[in-house]
Homo-oligomer: A and B are copies of this chain.
């Protein structure tokens, strides 16, 4: 990250603050509620640069790869790095032994590494037992994984729940080795599996309310970019921007933990905090070129579900909404019946619906700055709604007020879309009746929340509505 200086994008910071403040004070509404395309471009570059820096690290469920990742993240946000010892009981599970890997290779009789962990950490089955032995090709190839249908890609394979080991190579490489016939190879896996700990990162940002919004991204995958450096980097940048706000309406919690056992460990150790969680999102697969996909929370109609759906619907781009299923990412744990948080999952193309999933094809070329930035922008809009969903009362509710006489239009920036502004004004006036919050008005009008917010600021400023 040091060699990728962060662009000075204080946008989210100033914006959420400004909008929030507008509503309670008499600032002029401004026309830059949205992130501009230039700003988005810089955000995309910053996110891709973060992912590029984290990409080579060999993360796993436990071990130094996770620690190194979290330490780099500490450059952006003051993350707490938490170690939970091997053997700790976490609900129905136990924290496993820690796995670390120094080197792994297969050498031919000439001493040349024909499979080399140092070239790609995907070459080793993640979680492999230590091995040092000589094997014939006939023996070795039983431990080798490749993908016939994608001959140039290395698969990503794990073996955490059984004592095993293996290597992953491209089908092309496999066939080259096969062509060499029955030779003897030296197989070395210099891994260590022993008592240690499971490591996760957590960042808690207090707000005016102790009610929390939880963002969670899994950090257990080695050199895969979309799954889940995309989610990790967007969460880091959201946290970084939110922490720079002088005030936040809600508290925010960012969790970076290994999938399944990491989420379960955090839940087990923070069970007393769950009542504070208003809702949240699992962030994953946010950098590919597919359209945005939202998987609803377990209840299906939680506030977070409605907010994300509104953001996607008003984005003007294709999107998918899916019902909750008890398989997928850590929403499985957050939405288990005893936990039952209102958490959905924001993605682009869902796992196993793109060929690159869990292969070396999920690399830094597969995620693109523009798509990362678009996903960030959607998260930003979601937070904008969460922070600014207040209710107002129309102070001139009998018929329409005569807008001109109240000076509504006087201070509008020159670039305001007058027709859109006017429609937003009419919606806010019509539904500010004590029964509709600003978000309710957005849903009903199908208008962009930012536009309604700007009109709301103008209406507050000229005294036509007041916060309820």
Contact = CB atoms under 8 A, between A and B. Distances in A.
Contact of A326 (B92, B401, B429): B429
Given A336-B430, A337-B431, A338-B397, A402 B92 contact: yes
A398 B336 contact: yes
Tallying the copies of this chain within the complex gives 3
Interface residues of A, number: 42
Given A161-B404, A337-B431, A326 B399 contact: no
B402 A337 contact: no
A427 interface: yes
Given A327-B426, A426-B326, A427-B326, A336 B399 contact: yes
A383 interface: no
A340 B435 CA distance: 13
Interface string A369-412: 00000000000000000000000001011111110110000000
B401 A92 contact: yes
B264 A335 contact: no
Contacts of A431: 326, 337
A264 B397 CA distance: 11
A339 interface: yes
Nearest to A436: B337
A404 B92 CA distance: 11
Contacts of A336: 397-400, 429-430
A152 interface: no
Contacts of A394: 337-338
8 contacts: A90-B399, A92-B405, A93-B399, A260-B400, A326-B430, A337-B397, A338-B398, A339-B397
Given A332-B426, A339-B397, 17 more contacts: A91-B398, A91-B401, A92-B401, A92-B402, A92-B405, A264-B399, A267-B398, A325-B426, A325-B427, A336-B398, A336-B399, A336-B400, A336-B429, A336-B430, A337-B397, A337-B429, A338-B397
